[in-house]
């Protein structure tokens, strides 16, 4: 007589594999969350630099063309100074509105209406809404 061979996994093997997969998920999840947070922060920092460069270029063009011989900062940001002809989105709010003030607006969690701003009281300060 031949012994009947069974194919498949035992309950113990399945429990061990599920436990290992659970441990890997628990260890990998915080690393993934940190990666997305870091990516948003780096995108934010890069975009702040891009907006600052665009505003500076716009100011220089206004002075050279005679549009603004007083060398003042532009009242609005023109989308034509960006590669794809649009102001980049803020990675935290996913919006691209720009607020211009002489001083920085006050940020409050959940009530901000701006995505980016630039203030001109102390040179050119560009920042964004991270709430």
Residue 41 counted as domain residue: yes
Residue 7 counted as domain residue: no
User: Which domain range does residue 35 map to?
Assistant: 12-128
Q: How confident is the model at residue 115 (pLDDT cuts 50, 70, 90)?
A: confident
Domain count, the chain: 1
3-state secondary structure string across 22-72: HHHHHHHHHHHHHHHHHHHHHHHHHHHHHHHHHHHHHHHHHHHHCCCCCCC
HSE, side-chain direction, 13 A CA sphere, residue 126: 20
pLDDT in tens, 29-85: 888 888 888 898 899 889 888 888 888 888 888 888 888 766 677 777 888 888 888
Place of tokens 């290992």: 20
């Amino acid at each position: 007589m031949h012994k009947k061979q069974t194919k498949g996994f035992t309950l113990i093997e399945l429990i061990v594999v599920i436990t290992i997969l659970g441990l890997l998920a628990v260890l990998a999840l915080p690393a993934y969350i940190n990666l997305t947070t870091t990516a948003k922060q780096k995108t934010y920092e890069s975009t702040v630099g891009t907006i600052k460069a665009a505003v500076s270029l716009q100011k220089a063009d206004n002075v050279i063309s005679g549009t603004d011989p007083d060398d003042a900062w532009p009242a609005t940001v023109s989308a034509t100074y960006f590669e794809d002809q649009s102001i980049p989105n803020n990675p935290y709010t996913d919006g691209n509105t720009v607020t211009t003030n002489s001083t920085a607006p006050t940020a409050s969690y959940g009530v901000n209406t701006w995505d980016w701003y630039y203030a001109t009281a102390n040179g050119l300060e560009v920042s964004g809404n991270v709430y």
